[in-house]
Amino acid sequence: MELSLAARTVAGHTVLEVGGEVDVYTAPRLRERLVELVDGGARKVVVDLGRVDFLDSTGLGVLVGALKRLRAADGTFGLVCSKEPLLKIFRITALDQVFPIYASIEAATSTGGDGAGPTE
């Protein structure tokens, strides 16, 4: 399935809903969109992976890049993910200790933007 990207605002957070396959071919488009959002002023960014059915190391690299970019801009970055196969990918790579990962958009956007308290 092709990559789909849709951004909206929820409770003062910019939520980017990602769908389809995030891999070495499509990840550059995700990177561009995230850079665009941050350059456009977004500082509380949440990436919703609920409709992602494939995520590889290139996609993970893009997400880490966005986290670093937002940290540097005094922003926050969180992920929404409740699918076990994807959560396993985060655990195996130890990236579950790097990203705040939330079970729902509501949980991700109700933290006051401090990035703390993931409910994984």
Partner 1 sequence: MATVRLSFSPAPVHVRTARLVGVAVARRAGVAEELLDEVRLAIGEACTRAVALHRQHGLTDLVTVEMSDADSYAVRVIDHAPIDASIGLAKLLPDELADESLPDEALTTGVGFALLAGFVDDLQVRPVDDGTGTEVRMAWPVNRR
| Interface ranges with partner 1 (CB under 8 A) | 21, 23-25, 54, 56-58, 60-61, 64-65, 67-68, 72, 85, 89, 92-95, 97-98
In the complex with partner 1, the residue whose CB is nearer, 100 or 113, is: 100
36, burial (CB in 10 Å: exposed 0-12, middle 13-18, buried 19+) = exposed
In the complex with partner 1, the residue whose CB is nearer, 11 or 64, is: 64
Cβ 55 to partner 1, closest distance in Å? 8
E strand or H helix at 55, and its extent? strand 44-55
In the complex with partner 1, the residue whose CB is nearer, 6 or 98, is: 98
What is d(CA 118, CA 46) in angstroms, rounded to the nearest whole number? 12
HSE-CB of 14 using CA atoms within 13 angstroms: 22
Cβ 69 to partner 1, closest distance in Å? 10
